Chain A
Amino acid sequence: MEPIYLDNNATTRCDPAVVEAMLPFFTEHFGNASSIHAFGSEVGKALKKARSQVQALLGAEHDSEIIFTSCGTESDSTAILSALKAQPERNTVITTNVEHPAILTLCEWLEKEGYIVHKLKVDKKGRIDIDEYKSLLHDRVAIVSVMWANNETGTIFPVEQMAELASAKGIMFHTDAVQAVGKIPIDLKSTKIDMLSLSGHKLHAPKGIGVLYLRRGCRFRPLLRGGHQERGRRAGTENSASIVGLGVACELAMQHMEIENTTVRRLRDKLEAGLLSQITHCFPTGNVANRLPNTSNIAFEYIEGEGILMLLNKVGIAGSSGSACTSGSLEPSHVMRAMGIPYTAAHGTIRFSLSVYNTEAEIDRVIAEVPPIVAQLRKLSPYWSDKGPVANPQEAFAPTYA
């Protein structure tokens, strides 16, 4: 049976058209874009085209605002470190406590280095408190970095409004839009966003290519210094094949935006409704009313996510989990904990993330396969009896150490 891939927030398959566009750049168009000869200038032209394709998807005003990087993580690091370096009189970073590790781990390190990091809290549905945010905007803040959409729950943050507020106080605003780009319309020229990160492999381009959008006029310091590539803002010979691939992927994403927000959304909703109606003691996490069209994150109580994934994998279904066990840490997903999801549920969260390649038949099969898997694991769980959770799970099962 054909495997069903529902882990598109982790990574996506390259679109065949992307691969096809890339191939000549490994063979006949192998030149270095910086060279004067014909080998180089062909590549130079291709990079220019790709830049304008990215520009179009982001709605950026100038194509020179697009800087190619090696990945979303590099874009994130570049943005935050640049803001701190360029404004040494400012020592504070504002972010949220549900960011991707690309931001959070960097911020933890910055704290050790002596910077001040404010992490905005989120409520049960993963929403930030805009009043708390306003109260933190002061003249020691170097940069605000808030994700456009959360990778685990798909929850969308009001980054356009937040950027307006930051801008009014003269504070730089960066958004990690790795999950949002290609899934929801973005028009940067009509916002006050100064910097934005995207990653190719989340929108059917290859892994290892990213973009940092840098608004014209925004103060900047490069992370990698060296040659004059990307106007000296990101040294290192361009990954021309991947850049060309990303350009094509951006163009395809523009074409698919409508499908993403109609067909994909409908399939996601069908999947979620199908599971919630058949399985007791489970609930969707995050802000269901305002999230990416492709993401559904469901907490299955009293069981643990890795087991669910292994059994799903056995029947050819790929998803992901926020359980501690899948990451090797002692704590379940920081996003689930930030929303106050109890441990008995946080360990059993499963994320299904769709793409335009998923079909109705696939979704129907998932709706049929998941309920028996949940039932099978609950039968093993000390928190579960025949009919439902044991009367008082926390008391009925009180381990000797906790």
Chain B
Amino acid sequence: MSLACEAKQMLEDDGAFVDALLWETHARLAHFAETGEIASIDLGGLPMSGRDREALDSILGRGEVSAAVEVAGRSEVWETGFSSVWRVRHFGDGTIAADLIEITSCPSILAADRRDADNAARRLAEALEAKLGNAETLA
């Protein structure tokens, strides 16, 4: 193999890297099953090509849950084919802003924060009062 081909091969040869990531995921998943300790792996700083991501996601597959979150742009969250292993992908400006593997029962971006409930209760009351007001006006 010529030097140029070898170097090109080095640029493209990415299978080992994805395998290492999957083994790390496995170790953390096993630990979560045993202790309940959640974990997350940030794919952002890793030198992953589009092909790497595809390879990773094709092995992890898709599980029972898929969700889209619309806050400050779009986020996509899905449980992989392996229970408790989630993929969380935040978009900004159309490109991936943060890309994570989360090992948890439910990624925190999906759960509503109780501290937002106060405001929600007030808004719901206002909506109901407005509805009541409309009904009275019509009557």
| A complexed with B | no
